[in-house]
Chains A and B, each alone.
Chain A
Amino acid sequence: MQTFIDAYSWLNLRYLLQGLWVTVEVSVISVILSFILGTILGVIRYSEIKYFSAIVGFVIDLIRNLPLLLIIFFTYFGLPNLGFKPPVIAAAIIAMTVFESMMIAEIVRSGIIAIDKGQMEGAQSNGIGYWTALRIVVLPQAMKNMVPALVSQFISLIKDTSLGTIIVLPEMMYHAQIIYGQNTNYIIPMFVALAVLYFIVCYALSLVGKYFERRLA
């Protein structure tokens, strides 16, 4: 018990919360960027544009199937070879965005497919162009069905930021490791704190998702 009280000193908690702030920062930016990029890629993948869609599909499959840990690692250590040396946070955001976009592209593509084909044809026969029909008729409906899958993916994303410890991203998991480095007995209190803090953030996102699901239904 005393261990828990010592481990949760204000100093340690503050340090952990500083880590949480980086986690949230990286997550929010990556969620926004990967949602935009993922939607675009998903639409391209769906549209079957000659060659282009096939190439995009190939890239999606390749990146989606690699462990994110390695993508983060190679982003940080590979990009300098191309003449760009990103800071740790930028490298983490780039890697997360690239990877999560591919996951989201797959969700978006399947969401569009699940919408009745007749709607697209109906809209087009009413004189609306292909892209406009996609944008104002099909995508909004597809989004509704995609909400649960998207929320699951974003929850994964938030927790996956902890993989950034491999390149010493100062997020919550890394800060927890530094804290229990001071005293090995703090490890269990830190894991409990991690569970609670991640739960709060992810559950909040889950509630937002449920809200959208109801509203769009």
Chain B
Amino acid sequence: MKKVGRFMGLFAALALLLVTMTACGSSKALSKQDVLKVDTNANTITWGVKADTKLFGLMNIKTSIDQGFEVDIAKALTKEILGKDGKAIFVPITSSTRVPLLRNGNIDAIIATMTITPERAKQVDFTRSYFNAGQSILVKKGSSIKSVKDLNKKGKVVIGVVGSNSVQNIGKFAPKAKLLQMSDYAQALTALKSGQGDALTTDNGILYGMSADNPGYVVVGGSFTQEPYGIAVNKGQTNFKNRINKALTAIEKDGTYNKILMKWFGNVQGFNYEEMKR
């Protein structure tokens, strides 16, 4: 009985610890500061970006500098907001760290292949979409699967990647299929190659990149969803959000956006530049 008592005490203490920590976590003085003002004074914006995603945000091993479409867009937005001398700092993030880093003030905004969803919009504020991805499927050449509809059968297995929206999408378009989520793109492709699934689903830009590296695998059926990528800022940072939206409109108008789009996706097979330019 004494043991049970000690056990309960342990749990009570733990629960208390957790509650205090979460309580501290949510009521941050940081979220009350106006990020736009702070950043303008410091002449710097800190962006959370991907470091392992080809075309969007990938660390260059030689130079240790992050490169990609999203990095260039963030640079252009920074120049637009802060002026020519404005500095953009890039912090590599993962899907587990992005929101806590934002909340703790380590980063000002997330620009990292993040699809705008209503569920997520409860936790962060999204800007207007800066890229309209769509999910497609990648299969082995000669596979009987021609589109997402062919996957809607019992026994079919679809491989997804943590971070993209595959759970909801496959649930909607192929509810009978089983979904396996892998932790990164390379692991997902390797699982597909070893026959752990019939198709791989994620955002089409990434799939085209995989297909280019692996000629035996093709993207089929076009995209079956809309995945608007948005920039996330802390809840309540309305000034900052509006300023980013305004800057986004500006770089779309002056052609900077299209230049960056062309630079990263112009040579990607299957990518429709005309459809995506703004």
Contact = CB atoms under 8 A, between A and B. Distances in A.
Interface of A: 11-12, 15, 58, 61-62, 73-74, 77-78, 80-81, 85, 165-168, 177-188
A168 B61 contact: no
Contact of B94 (A58, A77, A168, A179): A168
Contact of A186 (B58, B96, B186): B186
Interface of B: 6, 10, 13-14, 21, 24-25, 51-54, 58-59, 61-62, 92-94, 96-97, 100, 104, 184-187, 189-190, 210, 213-214
Contacts of A58: 6, 10, 13
Nearest to B61: A15
A184 B214 contact: yes
30 contacts: A58-B6, A58-B13, A61-B10, A62-B13, A62-B14, A73-B96, A77-B104, A78-B25, A81-B24, A85-B104, A165-B94, A166-B94, A166-B97, A168-B51, A177-B52, A178-B61, A179-B61, A181-B53, A181-B58, A181-B184, A181-B185, A181-B186, A182-B58, A182-B61, A184-B210, A184-B214, A185-B214, A187-B187, A187-B189, A188-B190
Contacts of A168: 51, 92-94, 97
A199 B82 CA distance: 50
A184 B61 contact: no
B65 to A, nearest CB: 12
B10 A62 contact: yes
Contact of B213 (A61, A62, A166, A183): A183
Contacts of B189: 184, 187
Contacts of A73: 96
Nearest to A165: B94
Contacts of A185: 213-214
Contact of B186 (A61, A62, A187): A187
Contacts of A180: 186
Nearest to A15: B61
A81 B23 CA distance: 10
Contacts of B25: 77-78, 81
A178 B100 contact: no
B54 A182 contact: yes
Contacts of B61: 11-12, 15, 178-179, 182
A186 B58 CA distance: 15
A80 B54 contact: no
A178 B185 contact: no
Contacts of A184: 185-186, 189-190, 210, 213-214
Nearest to B27: A81
B21 A181 contact: no
Contacts of B21: 74, 78, 81
B123 to A, nearest CB: 15
Given A15-B61, A77-B100, A78-B21, 8 more contacts: A62-B13, A80-B104, A81-B21, A165-B94, A166-B94, A182-B54, A183-B213, A184-B190
A181 B14 contact: no
Given A62-B10, A178-B59, A181-B52, A167 B184 contact: no
Nearest to B206: A184
B62 A11 contact: yes
A132 to B, nearest CB: 33
A167 B93 CA distance: 8
User: Which are the 4 A-B pairs with shortest beta-carbon distances?
Assistant: A181-B52, A81-B24, A187-B186, A184-B186
A15 B58 CA distance: 14
B68 to A, nearest CB: 11
Contacts of B213: 183-185
A180 B62 CA distance: 14
A15 B97 CA distance: 23
A177 B97 contact: no
Nearest to A168: B92
A180 B96 CA distance: 20
Contacts of A166: 94, 96-97
Contact of A181 (B6, B54, B97): B54
Nearest to A12: B61
Contacts of B52: 177-178, 181
A50 to B, nearest CB: 16
Contacts of B53: 181
